[in-house]
């Protein structure tokens, strides 16, 4: 018996068309369509950190430490003193920065810090007096954290109660917090910033997180911010809030100098008063010891009483209090006149030498 062979049906093979790696874009895009975001870096906060001319070496080290802690910062050269603060908004716009942190020095001893929101010059901006500065390089700050890591921000409970502190809290969060997935940052959280409100000032500390149970070690820098004013614009505008307890450092130094001058004046017055009230005759001891050789007490007492009467009659009457004060003032005036004459003579000598 022969086998019947059936013809197999041919299977149609589909052609494999290579996928175009760069497909052509559609000719038109509707305005309502959203553009998909490719990257994870959404919060693109950039802070311009720089200073004006005239800051001291310690202030410059503090600015360098803050730059080290903030990987999202942008640096800029020193600003000239002749320029106004309104130029900072243009500098931030050229550097594509949203916030500005400006250090301004006065008399090589006082440091002021400006923190401002420069987006469209809308503000707000805050002016601080920075006190009690300690940099990272000091030996007592033994902590160490990863460079570029993201910090935790810890605020005191007062920042949720006082109105102007609520505004400062939001400004600190937007300025000091490192954005998530920033290209220059590390995906670790190993240190914490603490902002504490005490004695009408804000105390800044930076701690390394040693363990999960709350072990901390201070890294630095540490400084105290004394808020002066809050403006509604960026480096301009009207004053929203002003610190009533603020006293400028130059005024404090002036008060201390005045207190020292008062000490000097009181010391001179004491010397003049001592000279005026000094007794003319020294203390007289017991005279006429031969009176006590007599054994009869009545006769001795009569002799002592007679001598006392003679002494009182011979002594002049004591001057009154008004006459004493007049005498003291006359001596003081003579001393002042002598000082003035000496200064005039010295000035004449200087003119002759010239």
Residue 226 CB contacts under 8 Å (≥ 6 apart), including other chains:
128, 129, 130, 131, 200, 201, 202, 243, 246
Which residue shows structure tokens 């998530």? 180
Query: Which tokens is 26 given?
Result: 């559609």
pLDDT given for residue 110 in this prediction = 94
- Mean pLDDT within 119-128: 91
Class of residue 300 by CB neighbours under 10 A (exposed 0-12, middle 13-18, buried 19+): middle
Query: Which tokens is 260 given?
Result: 């020292």
pLDDT given for residue 100 in this prediction = 96
Q: Which residue has the higher pLDDT, 49 or 261?
A: 49
Under the banding of pLDDT at 50, 70 and 90, the label for residue 350 is confident
Nearest residue to 223 via CA among 204, 207, 199 = 204
pLDDT given for residue 306 in this prediction = 81
Is 48:73 a contact under the CB 8 Å cutoff? yes
Under the banding of pLDDT at 50, 70 and 90, the label for residue 282 is low
pLDDT given for residue 3 in this prediction = 61
pTM (predicted TM-score) = 0.66
Question: What count of residues does the chain have?
Answer: 354
SS (H, E, C) the chain: CCCCCCCCCCCCCCCCCCCCCCCCCCCCCCCCCCCCCCCCCCCCCCEEEEEECCCCHHHHHHHHHHHHHCCCEEECCCECCCCCCCHHHHHHHHCCCCEEEEEEEECCCEEEEEEEECHHHCCCEEEEEEEEEECCCCCCCCCCCCCCEEEEEEECHHHHCCHHHHHHHHHHHHHHCCCCCCCCCEEEEEEEEEEEEECCEEEEEEEEECCCCCCEEECCCEEEEEEEEEECCCCCCCEEEECCCCCCHHHHHHHHHHHHHHHHHHHHHHHHHHHHCCCCCCCCCCCCHHHHHCCCHHHHHHHHHHHHHHHHHHCCCCCCHHHHHHHHHHHHHHHHHHHHHHHHHHHHHHHHHC
- Mean pLDDT within 319-336: 77
Which residue shows structure tokens 């401002």? 116
Q: pLDDT tens digit string along 1-12?
A: 556 556 556 656
Under the banding of pLDDT at 50, 70 and 90, the label for residue 151 is very high
pLDDT given for residue 117 in this prediction = 95
Instruction: Check whether 270 has a pLDDT greater than 80.
Output: yes
Nearest residue to 151 via CA among 195, 107, 213, 109 = 195
CA distance 139 to 135: 10
Torsion of CA 244, 250, 253, 254, to 10 degrees: -90
Under the banding of pLDDT at 50, 70 and 90, the label for residue 341 is confident
Is 181:39 a contact under the CB 8 Å cutoff? yes
Under the banding of pLDDT at 50, 70 and 90, the label for residue 343 is confident
Assign domain 47-245 to a CATH class: alpha beta
How far lies 202's CA from each of 98, 104, 132, 134, 136, in Å?
23, 18, 12, 15, 19
Instruction: Check whether 21 has a pLDDT greater than 80.
Output: no
Task: Say what percent of the chain tops pLDDT 70.
Answer: 83
């Amino acid at each position: 018996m022969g086998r019947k062979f059936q013809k197999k049906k041919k299977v149609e093979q589909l052609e494999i068309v290579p996928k175009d790696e760069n497909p052509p874009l559609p000719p038109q895009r509707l305005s309502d369509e959203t553009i998909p975001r490719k990257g994870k870096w959404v919060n693109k906060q950039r802070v311009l950190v720089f200073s004006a001319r005239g800051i001291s070496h310690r202030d410059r080290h503090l600015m360098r430490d803050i730059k080290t802690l903030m990987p999202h910062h942008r640096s800029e050269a020193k600003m000239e003193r002749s320029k106004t603060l309104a130029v900072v908004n243009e500098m931030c716009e050229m550097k594509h920065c949203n916030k500005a942190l400006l250090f301004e020095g006065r008399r090589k001893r006082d440091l002021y810090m400006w923190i401002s929101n420069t987006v469209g010059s809308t503000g707000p901006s805050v002016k601080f007096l920075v006190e009690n500065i300690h940099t990272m390089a000091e030996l007592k700050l033994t902590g160490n954290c990863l460079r570029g890591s993201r910090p935790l921000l810890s605020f005191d409970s007062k920042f949720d109660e006082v109105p102007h502190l609520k505004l400062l809290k939001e400004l600190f969060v937007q300025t000091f917090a490192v954005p998530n997935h920033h290209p220059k940052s590390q995906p670790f959280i190993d240190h914490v910033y603490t902002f504490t409100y005490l004695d009408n000032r804000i105390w800044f500390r930076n701690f390394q997180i040693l363990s999960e149970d709350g072990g901390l070690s201070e890294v630095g820098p540490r400084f105290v911010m004394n808020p002066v004013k809050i403006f509604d614009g960026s480096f301009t505008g009207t004053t929203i809030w002003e610190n009533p307890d603020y006293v400028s450092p130059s005024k404090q130094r002036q008060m201390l100098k005045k207190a020292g001058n008062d000490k000097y004046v009181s010391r001179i017055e004491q010397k003049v008063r001592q000279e005026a009230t000094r007794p003319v005759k020294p203390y007289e001891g017991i005279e006429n010891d031969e009176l006590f050789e007599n054994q009869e007490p009545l006769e001795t007492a009569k002799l002592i009483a007679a001598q006392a009467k003679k002494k009182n009659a011979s002594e002049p009457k004591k001057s009154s209090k008004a006459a004493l004060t007049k005498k003291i003032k006359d001596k003081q005036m003579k001393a002042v006149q002598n000082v003035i004459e000496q200064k005039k003579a010295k000035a004449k000598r200087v003119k002759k030498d010239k």
